[in-house]
């Protein structure tokens, strides 16, 4: 869809559904509309309904949440903020700075959130000493999802390094298999770029470029190498990737139409929703060359201030989200891992268990970094500048050397 048409469609949807939540209801704005995401959301809906709280659904389709954030801005501008909103990283802090979010300190203190929510998440869930959102999960973006039967048939082992990966991709291509399932949206290309940049330059480079926004790192030969790797990936996706949504790319791997998808672990929700089992039907592994690192994003629900106090419904939602039982039940379905450190991994499958282990190890070894693509490395203005360059390069508008220069310029204007 052209940008202007898309925005018009979003705004029309906003106008239609701009009903304030009735007392006893929560109106929840979110972008969990794929099969796996909707299955996970149901766990939360049912939890609230069992407490007698009605759910007014405000879904805004569009992976990564860009469309949802456009709708949110329109709703708030119209003086009609939803009760609760799914949000990521710096977006939460930006809204907090505007004074738009309710203070959850009372519930947080009662339930001891300070002791159980990892520090990396608290950095986005608290502002000015106040809890301003309830973390639901921890996702990470440096994963690869693979169709096991296709790898077996082509005698391909799980690639550990970038060179192993390029060899596997070329072998698949020679055998007539589409090596990589890719969706064609800027946020999806940026998701791959998170992992590719980490793999090309390692954790110090990732941090310097995407978190410190250091000009030297942004303009380095290592960044050019990252773009060259993106060009390799672009050379091994099918012709019809343009505009494809992420879950349709996952479906290609599920159905054996492509071997690999590089995507955050929300992709696992699609495999599970299709009845597949990790280790049997599909494989999950860290993007080659990033086994020790985790680039994370955490979905949180921020409560918009409805005039002073947190409403009982908002409190119930926040409390339900942080309950250990919910954290396990929800994240088992969603593909993410709990946003608390004290939840058992017993109910998680092998990918989930690995995700929990990787997260804890990365946090204690200084290898846990916010995802650029999903708003945890830099504010939206910088993130969007990176999106523009990565997608233009991926779509062949310019070569890697030009992309590096464009990135330096775009980030310096945006920051
Ligand atoms: C991410 C979000 C995930 C998943 C994904 C695709 O930004 O954190 O929960 O929904 O987008 O929609």
Where among 365, 389, 406 does a domain terminate? 365
110 is in which domain, residue-wise? 2-139+297-365
> Is residue 333 scored above 80 in pLDDT?
yes
Residues 334 and 354 in one domain: yes
Question: Can you give the pLDDT at residue 21?
Answer: 61
Residues 11 and 108 in one domain: yes
How many structural domains is the chain composed of?
2
168 within 8 A of 274, measured Cβ to Cβ: no
3 state SS for 18-51 = CCCCCCCEEEEEECCCCHHHHHHHHHHHHHHHCC
Residues 215 and 162 in one domain: yes
Residues 239 and 316 in one domain: no
pLDDT tens digits, one per residue of 350-398: 999 999 999 999 999 999 999 999 999 999 999 999 999 999 999 999 9
Instruction: Answer whether 139 contacts ligand 1 (Cβ < 6 A).
Output: yes
Task: Output the average pLDDT for the chain.
Answer: 94
Please tell me the residue having the least CA distance from ligand 1 atom 6.
63
Residues 133 and 280 in one domain: no
* pLDDT confidence tier of residue 305, bands split at 50, 70 and 90: confident
From 31, 36, 330, the mutation candidate for ligand 1 (largest count of ligand atoms within 8 A of CB) is 31
Q: In the structure encoding, which two tokens stand for residue 186, read together?
A: 């800027």
pLDDT tens digits, one per residue of 109-150: 999 999 999 999 999 999 999 999 999 999 999 999 999 999
pLDDT tens digits, one per residue of 208-232: 999 999 999 999 999 999 999 999 9
Question: Can you give the pLDDT at residue 22?
Answer: 67
Statement: the pTM of the whole predicted model exceeds 0.85: yes
Residues 128 and 53 in one domain: yes
Question: Can you give the pLDDT at residue 309?
Answer: 80
Strands 84-88 and 25-30: parallel
Residues 212 and 301 in one domain: no
Q: In the structure encoding, which two tokens stand for residue 278, read together?
A: 């990790």
Q: How far is residue 83's CA from residue 69's CA, in Å, rounded to a whole number?
A: 14
Residue 132 maps to which CATH number?
3.40.190.10
Instruction: Answer whether 31 contacts ligand 1 (Cβ < 6 A).
Output: yes
Residues 282 and 201 in one domain: yes
10 within 8 A of 67, measured Cβ to Cβ: yes
> Is residue 97 scored above 90 in pLDDT?
yes
Residues 195 and 281 in one domain: yes
The pLDDT of 241-258, averaged and rounded, is 98
């Amino acid at each position: 869809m052209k940008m202007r048409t898309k925005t018009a469609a979003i705004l029309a949807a906003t106008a239609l559904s701009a009903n304030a939540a009735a007392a006893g209801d929560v109106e929840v704005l979110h972008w969990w509309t794929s099969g796996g995401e909707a299955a996970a959301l149901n766990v939360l809906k049912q939890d609230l309904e069992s407490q007698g709280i009605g759910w007014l659904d405000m879904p805004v389709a569009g992976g990564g949440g860009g469309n949802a954030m456009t709708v949110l801005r329109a709703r708030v501008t119209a003086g009609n903020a939803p009760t609760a909103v799914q949000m990521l990283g710096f977006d939460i802090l930006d809204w907090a700075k505007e004074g738009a979010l309710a203070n959850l300190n009372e519930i947080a203190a009662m339930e001891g959130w300070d002791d159980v929510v990892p520090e990396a998440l608290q950095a986005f869930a608290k502002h000015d000493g106040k809890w301003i959102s309830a973390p639901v999960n921890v996702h990470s973006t440096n994963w690869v999802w693979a169709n096991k039967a296709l790898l077996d048939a082509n005698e391909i082992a799980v690639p550990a390094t970038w060179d192993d990966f390029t060899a596997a991709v070329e072998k698949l291509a020679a055998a007539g298999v589409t090596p990589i399932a890719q969706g064609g949206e800027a946020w999806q290309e940026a998701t791959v770029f998170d992992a590719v940049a980490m793999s090309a330059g390692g954790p110090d480079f990732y941090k310097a470029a995407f978190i410190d926004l250091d000009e030297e790192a942004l303009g380095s030969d290592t960044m050019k190498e990252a773009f060259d790797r993106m060009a390799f990936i672009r050379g091994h996706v099918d012709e019809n990737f343009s505009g494809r949504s992420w879950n349709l790319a996952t479906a290609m791997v599920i159905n054996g139409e492509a071997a690999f998808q590089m995507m955050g672990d929300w992709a696992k929700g699609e495999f599970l929703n299709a009845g597949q089992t990790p280790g049997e039907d599909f494989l999950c592994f860290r993007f080659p060359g990033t086994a020790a690192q985790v680039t994370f994003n955490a979905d949180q629900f921020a409560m918009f201030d409805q005039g002073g106090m947190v409403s009982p419904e908002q409190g119930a939602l926040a409390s339900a989200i942080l309950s250990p039982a919910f954290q396990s039940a929800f994240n088992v379905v969603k593909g993410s891992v709990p946003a608390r450190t004290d939840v058992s991994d017993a109910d998680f499958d092998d990918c989930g268990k690995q995700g929990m282990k990787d997260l804890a190890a990365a946090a204690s070894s200084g290898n846990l970094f916010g995802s650029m693509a999903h708003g945890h490395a830099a504010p939206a203005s910088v993130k969007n500048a990176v999106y523009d360059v990565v997608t233009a390069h991926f779509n062949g508008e310019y070569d890697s050397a030009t992309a590096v220069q464009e990135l330096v310029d775009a980030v310096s204007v945006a920051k």
